[in-house]
């Protein structure tokens, strides 16, 4: 296992033999993903995140990432793996920091849900505490912070029409929809009147 993966958590194992069979068949003639038939499939899980389940599968030196929704009932529009796959498929050519996706499986018989397969990216994950190499290093901390800002600026500078991404969302009326949604959620959960919230919504 790598430093950012862990053994699969109890209750979150998938049907590994069925998944392995599907992966080997799906990539049997692929030039971009080569699975050595002599290597067994090894599985680990990424422990971070609080929503979708993310696994690493390894065949020798070939590493892949599997993403699927959490177990149990989920809202119909939440945890939409097919939508996430389509977005990443469209984004990667225009924004290389978006990971490359390799395959989408919409057959829930394989792992119990729709899932997709993407490339494995390596790097330092910053969670609650700074990892070694960044911790107590103001120069490195500054470099990481500026790199993050640059990456976000590059993302937001993409010409959606020129990159063929305009079809992915509904940019017209976005802010109005957001404010309306926030206001509806506030009205549905408030326990007392807060004049500042009403003023903000207006």
Provide the 3-class DSSP secondary structure of residue 166.
helix
Q: What is the mean pLDDT of residues 168-185?
A: 87
Can you name the CATH fold of 16-119? Phosphorylase Kinase; domain 1 (3.30.200)
Dist CA 82 CA 116 (whole Å): 8
Cα-atom radius of gyration of the chain, to the nearest Å?
21
In this structure, how many other beta carbons lie within 10 angstroms of the beta carbon of residue 57? 21
| Cα gap 60→42, rounded to integer Å | 8
Smallest CA-to-CA distance from 23 within 46, 1, 56 is with 56
pLDDT tens sequence across 24-49 = 999 999 999 999 999 999 999 998 76
CA angle 108, 78, 58 (to 5 degrees): 50
Domain ranges of the chain: 16-119, 128-169, 170-202
If you count DSSP H runs as helices and E runs as strands, how many of each does the chain have, helices first? 5, 5
Specify the pLDDT at position 179. 92
pTM passes above 0.85: no
The pLDDT of 100-104, averaged and rounded, is 97
Coil, strand, or helix at residue 93?
helix
Q: How many residues are there in the chain?
A: 202
Whether the pLDDT of residue 3 is over 80: the answer is no
Q: Is the pLDDT of residue 84 over 80?
A: yes
In the chain, % of residues over pLDDT 90:
68
Query: Can you tell me the mean pLDDT for 157-181?
Result: 88
Is 194 in a helix, a strand, or coil? Answer: coil
Q: pLDDT band for position 50 (50/70/90)?
A: low
Give the DSSP letter of residue 132: T
- Give the pLDDT band (50/70/90) at residue 170: confident
Of 79 and 152, more confident = 152
Angstrom distances, CA of residue 175 to CA of 164, 179, 180: 22, 6, 8
Q: What is the pLDDT of residue 171?
A: 77
CA 28 to chain centroid, in Å, comes to 25
- Which of 101, 7, 19, 119 has its CA nearest to residue 63? 119
Q: Examine the pLDDT at 124 and tell me if it is beyond 90.
A: no
The alpha carbon dihedral of 148, 150, 179, 69 has a sign of negative
Q: Kindly state the helix (H) or strand (E) to which residue 137 belongs, with its residue range.
A: none
What is the pLDDT of the chain when averaged over all its residues? 91
């Amino acid at each position: 296992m790598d430093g950012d993966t862990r053994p699969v958590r109890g209750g979150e194992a998938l049907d590994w033999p069925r998944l392995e069979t599907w992966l080997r068949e799906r990539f049997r003639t692929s030039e971009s993903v080569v699975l050595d038939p002599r290597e067994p499939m090894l599985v680990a899980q990424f422990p971070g995140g609080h929503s979708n389940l993310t696994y690493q599968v390894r065949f020798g030196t070939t590493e892949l990432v599997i993403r699927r929704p959490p177990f149990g009932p989920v809202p119909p529009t939440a945890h939409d793996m097919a939508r996430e796959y389509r977005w990443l498929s469209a984004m990667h050519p225009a924004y290389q920091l978006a990971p490359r996706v390799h395959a989408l499986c919409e057959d829930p018989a394989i792992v119990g849900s729709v899932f997709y397969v993407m490339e494995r990216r390596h790097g330092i994950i910053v969670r609650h505490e700074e990892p070694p190499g960044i911790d107590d290093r103001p120069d490195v901390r500054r470099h990481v912070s500026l790199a993050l800002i640059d990456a976000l600026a590059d993302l937001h500078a993409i010409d959606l029409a020129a990159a063929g991404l305009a079809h992915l969302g509904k940019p017209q009326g976005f802010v109005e929809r957001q404010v309306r949604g926030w206001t509806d959620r506030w009205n549905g959960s408030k326990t007392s009147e807060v004049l500042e919230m009403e003023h903000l919504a207006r």
